[in-house]
């Protein structure tokens, strides 16, 4: 697997998904907020439109019951888990650190810290190691209203990865580097935004293109 389509923040608006099918990629990864506080019934059929392997985590606006839906779907749920595919290992942490809004799927920083510590201890280290996190790391693509709202725990553990794929902050679409790690927020898929990621044969050989459909 070398080419991956990254999507985030669909928020129940699936009208633009078909447009992403025209691109060539080996897998799809979805960085959360598949729904907008539900409903969950369309999720399985929405994810099944992709004819390649699909890996997903929930976002803070997804009901916690989405975990069961993802587990039963054609997609692979990577919340609190990881998978190795060829020269690529993808680990996932869904939900978000706590917000002022009391959204359905929030975790304390202590919970995020504990899960990521477990993951980095046990996951297979690979040529490319990717963290799929709905919440961005603190001080990377996490500005909203002039404040940094990313996760301190994601930042603490991000140096064990080569790439962090996140979402959550709609206005923070982009690519940046923090602590020697590349961070990408593809933007809201509900608005037709995404990213194509190409993984080369050598460590750190990762190319990212932001796309709009």
The model's confidence at residue 1, banded by pLDDT at 50, 70 and 90, is low
Calculate the dihedral angle through the C-alpha atoms of 146, 192, 77, 35, rounding to the nearest 10 degrees: 70
DSSP letter, residue 157: H
Domains of the chain: 3-212 (3.60.21.10)
Q: Is the pLDDT of residue 24 over 70?
A: yes
The string of pLDDT tens digits covering residues 140-152 is: 999 999 999 999 9
Name the pTM for this structure.
Answer: 0.97
- Alpha carbon distance 179, 189 (integer Å): 27
**DSSP string for residues in 41-89:** TTHHHHHTT-SS-EEEE--TTS-TTHHHHHHHSSSEE-BTEEEEETTEE
Query: CA triplet 56, 100, 69: central angle to 5 degrees?
Result: 25
pLDDT > 80? residue 80: yes
| pLDDT in the model for residue 153 | 98
Asked whether 165 and 137 are in contact (CB, 8 A), the reply is: no
Mean pLDDT, rounded, of the chain: 97
CA–CA separation, 135 and 121 (whole Å): 21
Task: Give, as one character, the DSSP assignment of residue 105.
Answer: S
Burial of 204 (0-12, 13-18, 19+ CB in 10 A): exposed
Residue range 102-143, pLDDT digits in tens: 999 999 999 999 999 999 999 999 999 999 999 999 999 999
Round the CA-based radius of gyration of the chain to a whole number and report it.
Answer: 15
């Amino acid at each position: 697997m070398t080419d991956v389509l990254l999507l985030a923040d669909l928020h129940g608006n699936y009208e633009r998904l078909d447009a992403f099918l025209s691109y060539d990629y080996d897998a799809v990864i979805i960085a959360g907020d598949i729904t907008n506080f539900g409903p969950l019934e369309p999720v399985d059929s929405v994810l099944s439109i992709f004819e390649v392997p699909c890996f997903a985590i929930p976002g803070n606006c997804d009901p916690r019951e989405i975990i069961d839906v993802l587990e039963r779907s054609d997609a692979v749920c990577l919340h609190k888990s990881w998978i190795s595919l060829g020269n690529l290992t993808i680990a996932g942490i869904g939900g978000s650190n706590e917000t002022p809004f009391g959204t359905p799927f929030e975790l304390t920083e202590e919970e995020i810290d504990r899960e990521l510590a477990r993951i980095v201890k046990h996951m297979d280290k690979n040529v490319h190691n990717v963290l799929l996190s709905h919440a961005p790391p603190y001080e990377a693509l996490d500005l909203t209203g002039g404040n940094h709202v990313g996760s301190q725990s994601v930042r603490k553990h991000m140096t064990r990865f080569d790439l962090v794929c996140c979402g959550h902050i709609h206005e923070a679409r982009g690519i940046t580097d923090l602590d020697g790690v590349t961070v990408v927020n593809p933007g809201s898929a509900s608005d037709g935004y995404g990213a194509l990621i190409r993984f080369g044969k050598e460590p750190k050989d990762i190319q990212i293109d932001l796309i709009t459909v």
